[in-house]
Amino acid sequence: RRSMPAASRSCRGISRARPRSRTNTRAFDWCRTSYGAGYADVNESACPLEVTVNAPNLPEDLVGTYFRNGPGLFTRGGNTTNHPFDGDGFITRITLPGDGTLSFRGDFVKTDAYVEEKRANRRLYRNSFGTQRDGGPLANAFDVTQKNIANTNVLVWPTQTQQDDETPKLLALWEAAQPHRLNPTTLETEGVDYINGLLRPGAPFGTGIPDLDRTLSEAGVGVGGKVLAAHPHVDPRDGRLVCCGTLVVPKNGSLATEVTFYELDKNLKPIETSTESLDSFILLHDFAFTDEYYIVAQSPLELKSFPFVLGFKGPGEPECINFKSTGLTTLHLIPRPQAARRRSLQRTSVQVPSCFIFHFVNAHQKDDKVIIDVVQTKSFSAWHPDRSLEASFGGFHRGLASGTREFLDSYFDVGDTGRLVRYDVDVASNSANVISPLSDRTVEFPRLNDNQWSRSHRYAYVGASRHPTRAQPLQCWTKVDYSTVTTEGRVGEQVLYDAGEKGFVGEPTFVPRANTSGREDDGYLIGMVFNGETLETDFVVVDARGGREAIVVNIPDIRLPLPALHGTYTRRVFL
């Protein structure tokens, strides 16, 4: 048991991310071998993983539990996933009891598919990003059932439950299926949760005939399902959990996407439910909302189902999802039911230049405008742009895991990485003013003080590249100051934590201080870092106000994969 001293670089000043003619690239270099080492399996035979670490430097008022989800297993029976996003979900629990220790526990989400494949030691299911059932195209043809990998996000609900007799639910989320419920103390999987009957089994592809979809779902043929997207959000005004799910259906010889929005109480029972049909196929990972609108981004994607149906490709591969760079992206502002009852509101759909939006930073209303902050890429950028180079390494995941300079440099140097962008939407004129880019730094996984969600915010926190302009992996946590956007068209930036040449960060989660002053940034950033030097995992705590060294707690003998995704924090202590 040990606690590592702080190992970070803190910047007290705010620097502007302006293009620089002379930048010491070497000072911001990153280790390709360490990055590749991050794409390794969790030791499945040792699970559940558990260790307690002495951590006397942790803040006394940081008491609670941090949960995180992400892909944890990439190899089964010698068959490696085609893409890291196809890895089985692995839940991490970091408990901070307030006694100078840190308790770590981690285990896989034991979906039915995971259990079956582990028992058989081979791949029995198809995955979204091209990982196929063993046996080639003939073994995969005409089977549209996809494996529920439960690997994207984790929800604790109600979030701030304090009473010992009221145990909140812990749900593992993946947007193309139904969530799995876990025991928040042991992380044992308890089964699929259909959210009080709002959801139903099957993939989110339907016939357009509700009764037939329900029949197909009940028959277990793998389609006609109702699912929950992986990014629920809490409305700070009334404490509702606001979430959504999609169903792709045929319409007029093409496709449409039905987006169902749910506003749930503390028992996950519906207060409001509404469905909006949007023309064409939508790949919905995240959404935003304001007091009056839900906000969905529709990128110019074309779904080609034949390679998937015939067993050659996964539905998330470029051969099935075609990004039309000459098209436009549409921002849909859909009235929330309660707001529509207060006054007459119609859906507003605004077209902006072609892009893909994985994550929203936030959105809020100001007078007659809706201000939307996002992280966007130029295209659907989950893949290497040169498929021949990818094939030369035997698959995209194997290319990343190889740590090969040629593959990794070409992947990042293409420049199609996340950038901060703002849209000022004028609802009355049905138009948008685009402020882009707000920064030249590569960013992803935006978070903010959740009390500011759907309200005006000043600060956001992102995983970011060390280099201020070049496309690189995420190795820093950066504080973004939006107060300068209206005057300068740029955000201020402050690097709160730098993991160094061999360290790679995950999503930062903001935790308000227990006795907060009320300042928006009065709290901590917490999260996980892959240490490419020790090949172990670090838990990092940073003062969100800046100007102080990070607290880095090494978790010995625990090696977690690099590409972990999303997490959440609750003040409830689970041990």
- Binding-site members for Fe cation are 231, 285, 359, 566
DSSP 8-state code for residue 565:
-
For the stretch 525-528, contacts whose Cβ atoms lie closer than 8 Å and that sit 24 or more positions apart, written own/partner, are: 525/461, 525/477, 525/496, 525/497, 526/62, 526/66, 526/94, 526/569, 527/66, 527/68, 527/477, 527/567, 528/68, 528/92, 528/94, 528/560, 528/564, 528/567
Give me the phi and psi of 113, to 5 degrees please: -65, -40
Measured between alpha carbons, how far is 275 from 247 in angstroms, rounded to an integer? 10
DSSP string covering 325-340? TTSEEEEEEEE-HHHH
Residues 6+ positions from 190 with CB-CB distance below 8 Å: 180, 181, 182, 183
Give me the phi and psi of 538, to 5 degrees please: -115, 145
| Chain centre to alpha carbon of residue 29 | 26
Measured between alpha carbons, how far is 309 from 19 in angstroms, rounded to an integer? 46
Half-sphere exposure of 334 (CA within 13 A, CB side): 21
Binding residues: 231, 285, 359, 566
Q: What angle do CA 498, 502, 503 make, to 5 degrees?
A: 45
Give me the phi and psi of 426, to 5 degrees please: -95, 105
Question: Of 59, 174, 170, which Cα lies nearest the Cα of 105?
Answer: 170
For residue 183 the two structure tokens come to 């025991």
Question: Of 114, 119, 118, 44, which Cα lies nearest the Cα of 86?
Answer: 114
| Chain centre to alpha carbon of residue 484 | 27
- Cα–Cα distances in angstroms (integers) from residue 159 to residues 26, 65, 286, in the given order: 43, 11, 19
Alpha helices (runs of H) in 71-181, residue ranges in sequence order: 112-120, 137-140
Question: Of 261, 279, 281, which Cα lies nearest the Cα of 271?
Answer: 261
Question: Of 410, 525, 536, 545, which Cα lies nearest the Cα of 476?
Answer: 525
For residue 343 the two structure tokens come to 């006054």
Decide: 335 and 345 in contact? Cβ < 8 Å: yes
The position carrying tokens 């009080």 is: 196
Measured between alpha carbons, how far is 69 from 153 in angstroms, rounded to an integer? 5
Instruction: Dihedral sign for Cα 425, 426, 428, 431, please.
Output: negative
Q: End-to-end alpha-carbon separation of the chain, Å?
A: 17
- Cα–Cα distances in angstroms (integers) from residue 32 to residues 72, 257, 394, in the given order: 20, 40, 18
Measured between alpha carbons, how far is 389 from 178 in angstroms, rounded to an integer? 35
Residues 6+ positions from 338 with CB-CB distance below 8 Å: 272
